[in-house]
Amino acid sequence: MHRAAEDNARHKLRVAAYCRVSTDEEEQASSYEVQIEHYTSFIQGNPEWELAGIFADEGISGTNTKKRAEFNRMIEECMAGKIDMVITKSISRFARNTLDCLKYIRQLKDKGIPVFFEKENINTMDSKGEVMLTIMASLAQQESESLSQNVKLGIQYRYQQGEIKVNHTRFLGYTKDENKQLVVVPEEAEIVKRIFREFLEGSSLLQIGKGLEADGILTAAGKPKWRPETIRKILKNEKYMGDALLQKTYTVDCLTKKRVINNGIVPQYYVENSHEAIIPRDVYMQVQEELARRAKPFTDIGGKMRCYSCKYALSSIVFCGDCGELYRRITWYYGNRATPVWRCIRRIECRTPECNSQSIKEADLKRGVVKAINKLVLGKEDFISAMRKNVETVIGEGAGRSIDEIEAKLAQLQNELVRLASGRQNYEAVVEEIYRLRELKGKILAGSADLCGKRRRIAEMEEFLSSQSGILFEFDDKLVRRIVNRVTVYGGRLTVEFKTGTEVSVEIYG
């Protein structure tokens, strides 16, 4: 009797069930629990079957099996010989991807393991099973693709209405309130402001990152390492000035969920003033200009390509008064003593240079720059008056241009375009006018940002000059990066151009 019972148990089919619900909403969760209860009683109610396990994935899409942990565990146990048969509700519960569905069905068939789909009454070991399965799986895949397309259309409609959806889990400076609106996190916003400020002061992305690491500041992902690319993304993110560019990436395949950068393949939507800004618009625009300036290689006098450098405070801003070339920092050695000097690149790289400029010791160059700053400090009242007069002249030149008028005209033309397009009339002239006005609007905004930038630089210079009760005695790297735009060396004389446009000439050795 004991041996007969063992033989009977050995010949029982070890049957497993697979359950899945697509979302984690409450209604679906109850369906998930019902499925588990159903298959447990269903398998245990058959005397020829033995329950080999209930495998259930909750709140996971069926279009791809990569993230379905329980599904993958079930397949592994089948391959290990621990399961003889699999039962599931329907093909759409098993997989909505035809390729995945057939791949696993054939994999299981090779091991002699059938899959039974209750709803379709299909057993994959039957002669008609695979034909029916292919048809049914294709229909399930089409249903998934149709659903995905409907979701895309819904998202695009919300974008067109100006509704933004932003992932804030790794978004430094912002979180979401109970209404799912972006709100500023003050302590994180200070970090963002610091990054923008230091960049405009001349620091490189690497230097900014090292400073943040030295102060123990973590990234939005909670990591101690600040990579230059992370800082670049922050500097280029328009959301920090309160705007939102929507659909920067898009899904190319609803099955693999692969997303790629949107280079104009699908529409993008730009929403102005969609949330509270951390960075003023004029500061953000200046950063974009500076990013473009640093990224763009420039051609020197000899036709050679050069790149922007932030290694030293004077890098890329010291020029030769004789030939117009950049000065580069090199080191001269006198015995065991190293002396840093700045020398025209043409004299360094050319064997027969057409330049008669002299090298200048770094200590003398820095002393000359400090002398120019002190000259500015001592005559600050005259310099401030001249700077204010200069910006008033620029404001006068830009008067009379109205963004509001252009936007009103654009709105009128957009309505006209819709009317003509719906009536299949010629609308090319309207389109051309829209493009012209958009270009004009862009130029005015750029000019406005430039004007705001000039005002800001003058305000910063006034603040610096007002705070100086006496002259400087030492070269200050941060100050030079912040206020000096260009230094030109003419033998024993320097001309220092400040970022406000003010120029000061001084004798180096006098």
Q: Is the pLDDT of residue 406 over 60?
A: yes
Same domain, 345 and 471: yes
398 closest CA partner among 446, 437, 462: 446
Q: Say which residue, 290 or 136, is predicted with more confidence.
A: 290
**How many Å apart are CA 358 and CA 364, to the nearest integer?**
12
pLDDT, averaged across the chain: 76
Q: Say which residue, 376 or 33, is predicted with more confidence.
A: 376
Last residue of a domain, one of 237, 259, 294: 294
β-strands 49-58, 259-261 pairing: unpaired
> What pLDDT score was predicted for residue 87?
92
What's the CATH code of the domain at 220? 3.90.1750.20
Does residue 64 form part of some domain?
A: yes
31-45, 126-140, 268-282, 445-459: least confidently modelled range: 126-140
Does residue 152 form part of some domain?
A: no
256-270, 276-290, 369-383, 421-435: least confidently modelled range: 256-270
> What pLDDT score was predicted for residue 165?
60
Digit-coded pLDDT (tens) for 323-363: 888 899 999 888 788 999 999 888 888 766 678 888 899 99
Q: What is the mean pLDDT of residues 32-44?
A: 81
**How many Å apart are CA 40 and CA 33, to the nearest integer?**
11
**How many Å apart are CA 442 and CA 304, to the nearest integer?**
33
Same domain, 316 and 284: no
> What pLDDT score was predicted for residue 259?
55
Does residue 299 form part of some domain?
A: no
> What pLDDT score was predicted for residue 370?
92
Predicted confidence band of residue 142 (pLDDT cuts 50, 70, 90): low
Does residue 158 form part of some domain?
A: no
Q: What is the mean pLDDT of residues 13-28?
A: 70
Q: Say which residue, 271 or 28, is predicted with more confidence.
A: 271
What's the CATH code of the domain at 25? 3.40.50.1390
**How many Å apart are CA 332 and CA 348, to the nearest integer?**
12
Does residue 157 form part of some domain?
A: no
Same domain, 207 and 76: no
Does residue 155 form part of some domain?
A: no
Same domain, 394 and 499: yes
Same domain, 402 and 487: yes
**How many Å apart are CA 42 and CA 360, to the nearest integer?**
91
> What pLDDT score was predicted for residue 106?
79
Q: What is the mean pLDDT of residues 197-209?
A: 87
158-167, 193-202, 209-218, 370-379: least confidently modelled range: 158-167
Write out the residue range of the structural domain in which residue 312 sits. Answer: 305-507
Q: Say which residue, 371 or 481, is predicted with more confidence.
A: 371
Same domain, 106 and 179: no
Could you write out the three-class secondary structure of 258-311? CEEECCCCCCCEEECCCCCCCCCHHHHHHHHHHHHHHHCCEECCCCCEECCCCC
Does residue 161 form part of some domain?
A: no
**How many Å apart are CA 176 and CA 469, to the nearest integer?**
45
235 closest CA partner among 272, 204, 273, 269: 204
Same domain, 372 and 484: yes
> What pLDDT score was predicted for residue 286?
79
Does residue 166 form part of some domain?
A: no
> What pLDDT score was predicted for residue 446?
64
Same domain, 395 and 246: no
> What pLDDT score was predicted for residue 397?
45
Last residue of a domain, one of 272, 294, 316: 294
Same domain, 338 and 377: yes
Last residue of a domain, one of 232, 267, 294: 294
| Region of 359 on the Ramachandran plot (φ > 0 left; ψ -120 to 50 alpha; else beta) | beta
Same domain, 124 and 194: no
Predicted confidence band of residue 57 (pLDDT cuts 50, 70, 90): confident
Our count of domains for the chain comes to 3
Same domain, 314 and 453: yes
- Spell out the alpha helix ranges (H) of 88-244: 91-94, 98-110, 129-160, 186-200, 205-214, 228-236
Same domain, 359 and 460: yes
Q: Residues of the chain with pLDDT > 90: what percent?
A: 19
Q: Which helix (H) or strand (E) holds 348?
A: helix 345-349
